[in-house]
Amino acid sequence: MPPVLELRGMTKAFPGVLANDHIDLTLEEGEIHALLGENGAGKTTLMNLLYGLYQPDEGEIILRGQPVDIHSPSDAIAMGIGMVHQHFMLVPVLTVTENVMLGVESVRNGIFLDRAAAAQRIRAISQQYGLEVDPDAYIKDLPVGVQQRVEIIKLLYRHADILILDEPTAVLTPQEAEELFKVMRSLAAQGKSIIFITHKLKEVLAVADRITVLRLGRVVGTTTPQAADEGTLARMMVGRQVILKVQKKPAQPGDVVLSVRDLLVLDDRLQLAVNGVSFEVRAGEILGIAGVQGNGQTELVEALTGLRPPVAGHVTILGEEMTYASPRAIIEKGVAHVPEDRQRDGLVLSYPVADNLVLNTYYVPPFATGIVMHEEAILTAAEERVRQFDIRTPSVRVPVANLSGGNQQKVIVAREFSRPIRLLIASQPTRGLDVGSIEYIHNRIIAKRDEGTAVLLVSPELDEIMALADRIAVMYRGRLVAVLPPAEVTKEQLGLLMAGATLDGGRRTDDGGQPISTP
């Protein structure tokens, strides 16, 4: 039997970049095929070629033994190819049924929507593949993991039998990811074929039948989970040996740098997002805050950096009350902030690399005297940073928008780390980055810690928290529900805490909001 899908010699060039260079890929029926590669390896380009968003320069797509041309996503869907994007394409104020039927509405008496018939089919699909979902629920009320199920149901509703999942676990808790893997296995067992795009090695080994690794637009090799381990996969992805385990000495905590007492912060909808949080971070230690996104971490960080005034509580930095200080006062106190959304908050994309490197120091010597800026000094410093932090850019005058995500993040890290700082607040510092960049940024954070900087690390990535933090706090619904040393806790236990469960036998503060003492 021929493979359900075959890509032969797929090639796509963009000005200056060969994004896909003669890529071959076969997908068997009922197979979960992982497509693994760093950012910029060409995974997304390849899938966009398959999904009809781009046209290949060379190469052919053979679907069930027949060569086909795919000119648009609607062509792809008609041929049974469906894609779940990283960012969901759902209408929050509509129900599950309405979202699923959007574009392929079933109609009664010519003009009326037949929601009941659609809901019936959705129930049948969810039963068949174990995709539990209430067809009448509104999307806005559903957790992210369930929204993702709705996206998958949308594809199945349209009779897709080749499913492309683009980084599907990026937004999920470990438990939700496990659920997704179950669904994927169930789909595959019933004959659906899945292309699973990711750069997370563990997931690939857990769920894939076969693994194809891309690097710099080419296929490095195809392997199976049985024949490979994290080390070999990482080496294939990056092209060199990667140390996956962060090397670090035990922390030597010094004086308290950041002290937070009973902090209350509201979110944009004026709901209590941070509900009585207290903690301390000492010089030379990393406090990791774990938690599923949307449990108040964003608001907590914004309150600490002066971007969102709290409604009550105290923030003390280096012994000084800074609860209602301006962002600039906090910056000048020696606080560095790596924001969670680098493109929204951390960079001005249209500005050159050099200007982004002085975004919060443009007004001090040597970059300016009075109101006059010194372009030469800014450019010289930028050249120096680019060298020092290995930022890949053709020139410091290039707009930072033209850099890859990893290099954009390096620009932020270079800017924040090259001032004298006492406290580093890093929010998801490796979000969306590849293995090589993650390794680099982790090592930089450890180095800062060892220089005596206090570090507050906020991340939904448990691996990152476990690898870096000297103490782990779990945030759930605006409260810190536990503070634990990494050695005493497993990933599974953290996952449970993140989902709101209590941890029997684990240390846990009674009401979450209680002060947490440092040893």
Partner 1 sequence: MSEAELKAKPAPRPVEVKAPQLPPLWQRVWRTISLPILSIFTALVLGAVFIVLSDVNVLATYQNFPNAPGAALRATWDAIRLAYGALFTGSVVDPAILAQALRTGDPATWSRAIQPFAESLVATTPYIFAGLALALGFRCGLFNIGAEGQLFVGALASVWVGYSLKGLPAVIHLPLALGAGALGGAIWAGIPGLLKAKTGAHEVITTIMMNYIAFRLSDYLITGPMKRPGFVPVTPFVQESARLLRFFSDPNIRLHAGFLLALAMAALVWWFLFKTTLGFEIRTVGANPNAARYAGISVTRNYVFAMALSGALAGLAGTVQVLGVDYWLGQAFSSGYGFDSIALALLGKSHPLGVVLAALLFGTLRNGATRMQSTARIPVDIISIVQALVIMFIAAPAIIRAIYRVRAEREIGEAVFTRGWGK
Using rule CB under 8 A, residue 405 touches partner 1: no
Using rule CB under 8 A, residue 384 touches partner 1: no
**Computed from CA positions of residues 351, 357, 360, 364, in that sequence, does the dihedral angle turn out positive or negative?**
negative
CB 254 within 8 A of CB 284: yes
Q: Which of 21, 262 has the CB closer to partner 1?
A: 21
Using rule CB under 8 A, residue 216 touches partner 1: yes
CB of 390 to partner 1, least distance (A): 13
CB 285 within 8 A of CB 251: yes
Task: Return the amino acid letter for 156.
Answer: L
CB 56 within 8 A of CB 253: no
Q: Which of 59, 327, 334, 432 binds partner 1 (CB under 8 A)?
A: 327
CB 508 within 8 A of CB 502: yes
Residues 41-80 that bind partner 1 (CB under 8 A): none
* DSSP sequence for 109-123: TTTEE-HHHHHHHHH
Q: Which of 197, 220 has the CB closer to partner 1?
A: 220
Using rule CB under 8 A, residue 368 touches partner 1: yes
Q: Which of 217, 296, 460, 478 binds partner 1 (CB under 8 A)?
A: 217
CB of 148 to partner 1, least distance (A): 27
CB of 13 to partner 1, least distance (A): 11
Q: Which of 154, 192, 337, 471 binds partner 1 (CB under 8 A)?
A: 337
CB of 402 to partner 1, least distance (A): 5
67/483 Cα distance (integer angstroms)? 57
Using rule CB under 8 A, residue 98 touches partner 1: no
Using rule CB under 8 A, residue 219 touches partner 1: yes
Contacts 24+ apart (CB under 8 A), 116-125: 118/157, 121/157, 122/96, 122/97, 122/153, 122/157, 125/153, 125/156, 125/157
Q: Which runs of consecutive H residues, i.e. helices, occur in 71-173?
A: 73-78, 96-101, 115-129, 144-157
Q: Which of 73, 294, 313, 399 binds partner 1 (CB under 8 A)?
A: 399
Angle between helices 491-498 and 174-189 (to 10 degrees): 100
Residue 247, both tokens = 């090397």
CB of 56 to partner 1, least distance (A): 17
Using rule CB under 8 A, residue 365 touches partner 1: no
Contact track, partner 1, 222-261, x by CB under 8 A: xxx-xxx---x---x--x----------------------
Q: Which of 16, 110 has the CB closer to partner 1?
A: 16
Residues 295-324 that bind partner 1 (CB under 8 A): 305, 307
Q: Nearest CA to 471 among 254, 286, 247?
A: 286
CB of 210 to partner 1, least distance (A): 8
Distance of CA 7 to CAs 4, 46, 63, 210, 459, Å?
10, 9, 9, 15, 37
Q: Which of 71, 392 has the CB closer to partner 1?
A: 392
Residue 429, both tokens = 């510092």
Q: Which residue has the tokens 């800017």?
A: 415
CA 142 distance to own-chain centroid: 20
Using rule CB under 8 A, residue 395 touches partner 1: yes
Q: Which of 8, 11, 18, 120 binds partner 1 (CB under 8 A)?
A: 18
Residues forming the site for partner 1 (CB under 8 A): 15-18, 21, 28, 31, 209-210, 215-224, 226-228, 232, 236, 239, 305, 307, 326-328, 330-332, 337, 339, 344-351, 355, 359-360, 362-363, 368, 371-373, 375, 392-395, 397-399, 401-402
